Structure 1
Amino acid sequence: MSDFLSNFNKDNYDKQPKDEKESVTSNQTSSQEQPPKESFSPEPKSEKKVPSDSNEHIEIDPNYQRKKRKKLIIYIALSIVALLLIVFLYYSIRYVDMENFVGEPVADARTWANENNMEIELLQEHSMEYDANQIMEQDIEQGKNVKKGSTINLTSSIGPDPEEPIELPDFSELTASEAEVWKNENKAENLQIVTEFSDEVEEGQFTRFVMSDEEISKEEYKRQDNANVYFSKGEEVFEEDIEVPDFVNKNKEEVEQWAETNEIEISYKEEAANDIEAGLVSKQNIDPESMIAKNDEMEITMSLGKAVEVPNFASFSMEEAASYEGLTVTVRQRFHNNVKYGNMIAQSIEPGTELTDQDNKSITITYSEGEPYLRDYRGQLEGDLPRLFYEDYQSKGADISYIVKYVDASEVKGTVVGMSNFNSFVSMDYTVEIHVSNNEDADPGSFDTPEGNEAPEEIEEELSPETEGPEEEQIEK
């Protein structure tokens, strides 16, 4: 303190500025007024004395060395951090931690490999555990350092083996949900579970099994084969909210368009209608303005126009039947053992049938000619007999035939000279014997046919049983 006050002598004081003088004076006054206090100053640990002027006072900071060491430590730490950062950056550029791709899509692994400039060697195998294109194995464990630019080996799934045979269960004993579980467990992706409405099978129960390829049996089924298993959704019930229009006198196209729009099952039938034009609706089995539901059935009757009713021609004569209006009538005559001549035997269309313009209006009426009557064919040529027997008998339903016996006669060869029976009624199945001249030397112009087709006396004598003649030849026709 004394040293400090010694600096303030009169000379120094005079040299100080006025403000400083006032400050010093003030300080001295205050110091004189206050009682003296003891001051304790810590002894410095070390002081370094340096030469100085008598007017300067220098103090040494005792924390200087500590601060210097602290700065050095900080510099060293920063250098280490920078070095580690450089090493980390280098390591990050050159290496990467391997990720776990097991169970992940192959596309994710390829994306990661492209980002890190790496190659992938991919091996594909069938698997029941992993879905197709999922990674099953990797040759480098998760977290292991991998140098960028290297190649990693992965094994991916291509799904279950499509060629593997699968034993199908008895679907009739399974519900739809149980069949779905079986499908997922066996990876049968080509087996479709289909539900359909059924009026007979309870909901959720099996209805049918269909293989797409009919040549493959259920015992030969493989995972790659396509098949459908159908289960019932129960009976489909629709609300009756469709109003039925009046289709009478409407065309068929209007009915079909309405039915297609509202999903109504339409069945058609046709019948004659005298008051409805042909091709238009004449009847409908459900009244107009009635309410029906989707998939209901409805019957529509289409008009065939005005009809002609076929009468019973049994009461008509042949002339009346042939001229009947509205029909094309063909009259035929046939022999009959039980139906008298002129009576009807049959008609090709039943009485009461209605025929329209769309029908064939041709009808055949068959009348009876009574019992067959065998005519006299003496004097006719043998060559005309087939035609005559067909026209006179066989075309009219009588099975009448003949046999030929050649005899010696004065008539020219081939002339009928006798018959075992003629000009009489015979049965429907009858055979007559006809004698034909065998004379090749007769003059065709020297013989006149007797009147009434009667054979000459010479021929009758030859045909009599008592007459002896040459051996006769019989030919059945």
Structure 2
Amino acid sequence: MHQLRFVREGYCLMSDFLSNFTNDNYGNKQPRKKERHSDKSPLEETSTEERTNDSVELNGKENEQKSQLNNPTEKKDQHKTSASSQPIFDEDTQTITDPTYRKKQIRKKLLIAVSAIIVLMGCLFAYYQFSTVKVPDFVGKNVSEVREWGVDSGVKISPEQVYDFDEKINAVVKQNQTAGKRMKKKDKLIVQTSLGPDPKELIALPTFEEMTITQAQEWIESNKAENVTISEEYNDKVAAKKLIKQEFSQKDFDKKKYKREDQMILTYSKGKEVFEKNIAMPDFKKKDKGKLDEWVKANEIKATVKWVDSDEEKGKVLTQSVEPTVKVAKRECLSFTISKGKPIIVPDFSLYNKNTVEEITGLTVQVNEKFSDSVSFGGLLSQSVEAGKKYYEGEPLPTITVEYSVGQPYLRSYIGELEGDLAERFFNDYQSKGANITYTTYRTPSSEPKGTVVKMSLYNEFVSTDYHVSIGISDGSKASEVPKYQEDELDKELPETKDSLEDIAN
């Protein structure tokens, strides 16, 4: 029973609550229970009072609506009374009306609706925040920063490379998403990265000969010609900061076709280098040249070395242009004399003859004799190594060939000798000594044995080194007769005997 009563009472309360929002003439009245004492139990008393109040309230509402229809003035007065926001106690109906109740209910519903909207907006905002990301301004930054941001934010980065004169290599030139705004994570962020200036671009070269090194550096920076290298070196002839030479990687390069990718080297002068004299000069006299070379290399000294003949051992320092302990500067020019040792000198063999050549020591000399039309007997004709030539220790010594003159050739008489011996005789007597003495033979009747020389066109006289002689050879046809050459001798020596023989023959 109690459960049924509680259900019924709950239904009545819910109906009353809903009627407050459906009744257009609801006067914001809230029934108030009249305090009274009762002998009933608290639960029964509460239920009875609530039912009584509900009935009184419903009757009161009906009466109120009727009175408002019959008496408009009363309605206005009632509104005035409600406007005063003061609780009204009706003794007849025993109810208390709260004029702020409706406002409180509206405020409550508005608060619930606003809270729901705020929660919904919060969810939408959270989803928006989770599915999007704020795009930074990457222009001018390195593409590596963009990639790192893409990994951290879950955004795919799509780089595109373009030539750009103003931005550095790998710097971002442009991005497809506006900086500061949010983008969906599923979208791509496309960034254009710089490849630097276009290497194929033609650049007009200035006249570097008229520019200082500072002006050349400014030109390189303004044109971003990164393949141009500037080097400096000391030069005694070209003023400091002036161009010494301009070189290209290719020979015969056309300057009018210079592009940013071409290699070029500009060498500028640093002027004459001046060093402080802070190096103490050692004493190198009679020391090996090797120690001098080490000191010269370590101190970058410009050394001029002169080799001279000396009785000192080869390679010993003889003199130095600066005395010991004197201070010298780096790259200063110094001179030194070094011993070449005692040389072996080739003599003038014209001062010798074939018999006195043996007096020369230290050299190997081969003496030859040769005919000459112009040099008298015993005179020097030639020597294979010129006079005064020096040979030093450790150098190979050659064999020197010396030729002395034996004068003009003397053509001997070969009458009475055999024809077969003539070739050997002419070679040994003339040709081996440089004389071109040749001969021809012919046959002639003679009482001499066949093959014997019986005639010569010239013999027993001096001839030139280039001479030809004709020689008659016996054919042996007159072997029983007196040889012709004998007859000639008889004619000269015994003319009277010859006449006597002719008479006898007659």
Using the size of structure 2 for normalisation, the TM-score is 0.64
Distance (whole Å) between structure 2 residues aligned to residue 381 and residue 179 of structure 1: 98
Distance (whole Å) between structure 2 residues aligned to residue 197 and residue 393 of structure 1: 71
1:29-53: per-residue Cα shift (whole Å, max 9, x none)?
Answer: xxxxxxxxxxxxxxx996899xxxx
Unaligned runs of 5+ residues in structure 2 are 1-83, 90-101, 490-506
Structure-1 residue corresponding to 2:376: 340
| Alignment: residue pair count | 396
Structure-2 residue corresponding to 1:124: 161
Shift in alpha-carbon separation, 1:433–1:366, aligned structure 2, 3 A: closer
Distance (whole Å) between structure 1 residues aligned to residue 122 and residue 431 of structure 2: 127
1:421 to 437, 442, 458: 458
Distance (whole Å) between structure 1 residues aligned to residue 154 and residue 185 of structure 2: 6
Structure-2 residue corresponding to 1:236: 273
Pairwise CA distance, 1:405 = 5.1
Structure-2 residue corresponding to 1:92: 129
2:247 to 189, 199, 210: 210
User: Is structure 2 residue 437 aligned with structure 1 residue 374?
Assistant: no
1:13-42: per-residue Cα shift (whole Å, max 9, x none)?
Answer: xxxxxxxxxxxxxxxxxxxxxxxxxxxxxx
1:346-404: per-residue Cα shift (whole Å, max 9, x none)?
Answer: 55555555543334264444333223323334566777766655554455454x34352
Structure-2 residue corresponding to 1:356: 392
Distance (whole Å) between structure 1 residues aligned to residue 319 and residue 470 of structure 2: 67
Distance (whole Å) between structure 1 residues aligned to residue 271 and residue 114 of structure 2: 81
Q: CA RMSD in A?
A: 4.3
Shift in alpha-carbon separation, 1:116–1:303, aligned structure 2, 3 A: same
Point out the structure with the larger helix share.
Answer: 2
Look at both structures and tell me which one has the larger radius of gyration over its CA atoms.
2
Structure-1 residue corresponding to 2:59: none
1:103-144: per-residue Cα shift (whole Å, max 9, x none)?
Answer: 221112112222211112222222333332122222222233
Range that drifts further, 79-88 or 264-273: 79-88
Q: 1:116, 1:149 within 8 Å by CA — same for their partners in 2?
A: no
Pairwise CA distance, 1:164 = 4.1
Shift in alpha-carbon separation, 1:317–1:401, aligned structure 2, 3 A: closer
Pairwise CA distance, 1:230 = 0.8
Distance (whole Å) between structure 2 residues aligned to residue 186 and residue 457 of structure 1: 115
Shift in alpha-carbon separation, 1:178–1:261, aligned structure 2, 3 A: same
Q: 1:322, 1:330 within 8 Å by CA — same for their partners in 2?
A: no
User: Is structure 2 residue 364 aligned with structure 1 residue 328?
Assistant: yes
Pairwise CA distance, 1:165 = 4.4
Shift in alpha-carbon separation, 1:433–1:118, aligned structure 2, 3 A: same
Pairwise CA distance, 1:199 = 0.8
Q: 1:176, 1:206 within 8 Å by CA — same for their partners in 2?
A: yes
User: Is structure 2 residue 138 aligned with structure 1 residue 101?
Assistant: yes
Which amino acid letter does the alignment assign opposite residue 224 of structure 2?
K
Pairwise CA distance, 1:147 = 0.8
User: Is structure 2 residue 223 aligned with structure 1 residue 186?
Assistant: yes
2:440 to 382, 404, 408: 404
Using the size of structure 1 for normalisation, the TM-score is 0.68
Q: 1:277, 1:305 within 8 Å by CA — same for their partners in 2?
A: yes
Distance (whole Å) between structure 2 residues aligned to residue 271 and residue 144 of structure 1: 90
1:390-442: per-residue Cα shift (whole Å, max 9, x none)?
Answer: 554455454x34352534455788876543322222234x3213236495x98
Q: 2:419, 2:473 within 8 Å by CA — same for their partners in 1?
A: no
Pairwise CA distance, 1:205 = 1.0
Structure-2 residue corresponding to 1:58: none
1:111 to 145, 148, 153: 148
Range that drifts further, 150-159 or 320-329: 320-329
Which amino acid letter does the alignment assign opposite residue 187 of structure 1?
K
Structure-2 residue corresponding to 1:249: 286
- 2:342 is paired with a residue whose SS is coil
Structure-2 residue corresponding to 1:175: 212
Q: 1:241, 1:291 within 8 Å by CA — same for their partners in 2?
A: yes
Distance (whole Å) between structure 2 residues aligned to residue 311 and residue 282 of structure 1: 27
Shift in alpha-carbon separation, 1:69–1:438, aligned structure 2, 3 A: farther
- 1:90 is paired with a residue whose SS is helix
User: Is structure 2 residue 338 aligned with structure 1 residue 298?
Assistant: no
Structure-1 residue corresponding to 2:343: 307
- Counting aligned pairs with the same residue, the percent is 35
User: Is structure 2 residue 168 aligned with structure 1 residue 137?
Assistant: no
Shift in alpha-carbon separation, 1:406–1:296, aligned structure 2, 3 A: farther
Q: 1:272, 1:356 within 8 Å by CA — same for their partners in 2?
A: no
- 1:376 is paired with a residue whose SS is coil
Q: 1:272, 1:354 within 8 Å by CA — same for their partners in 2?
A: no
Which amino acid letter does the alignment assign opposite residue 327 of structure 1?
L
Unaligned runs of 5+ residues in structure 1 are 1-43, 50-64, 461-477
Q: 1:416, 1:434 within 8 Å by CA — same for their partners in 2?
A: no
- 1:241 is paired with a residue whose SS is strand
Which amino acid letter does the alignment assign opposite residue 282 of structure 2?
P
Range that drifts further, 79-88 or 362-371: 79-88
Q: 1:201, 1:234 within 8 Å by CA — same for their partners in 2?
A: yes
Range that drifts further, 343-352 or 220-229: 343-352
Q: 1:378, 1:455 within 8 Å by CA — same for their partners in 2?
A: no
Shift in alpha-carbon separation, 1:73–1:394, aligned structure 2, 3 A: farther
Pairwise CA distance, 1:154 = 1.7
Shift in alpha-carbon separation, 1:93–1:289, aligned structure 2, 3 A: same
Structure-1 residue corresponding to 2:184: 147
Shift in alpha-carbon separation, 1:109–1:436, aligned structure 2, 3 A: farther
Distance (whole Å) between structure 1 residues aligned to residue 167 and residue 273 of structure 2: 40
Which amino acid letter does the alignment assign opposite residue 362 of structure 2?
G
Shift in alpha-carbon separation, 1:344–1:97, aligned structure 2, 3 A: same
Distance (whole Å) between structure 2 residues aligned to residue 416 and residue 235 of structure 1: 90
Which amino acid letter does the alignment assign opposite residue 201 of structure 1?
V
Distance (whole Å) between structure 1 residues aligned to residue 329 and residue 176 of structure 2: 66
1:256-288: per-residue Cα shift (whole Å, max 9, x none)?
Answer: 2212211123344433321x2234333434333
Range that drifts further, 337-346 or 319-328: 337-346
Which amino acid letter does the alignment assign opposite residue 292 of structure 1?
V
1:435 to 471, 474, 490: 471
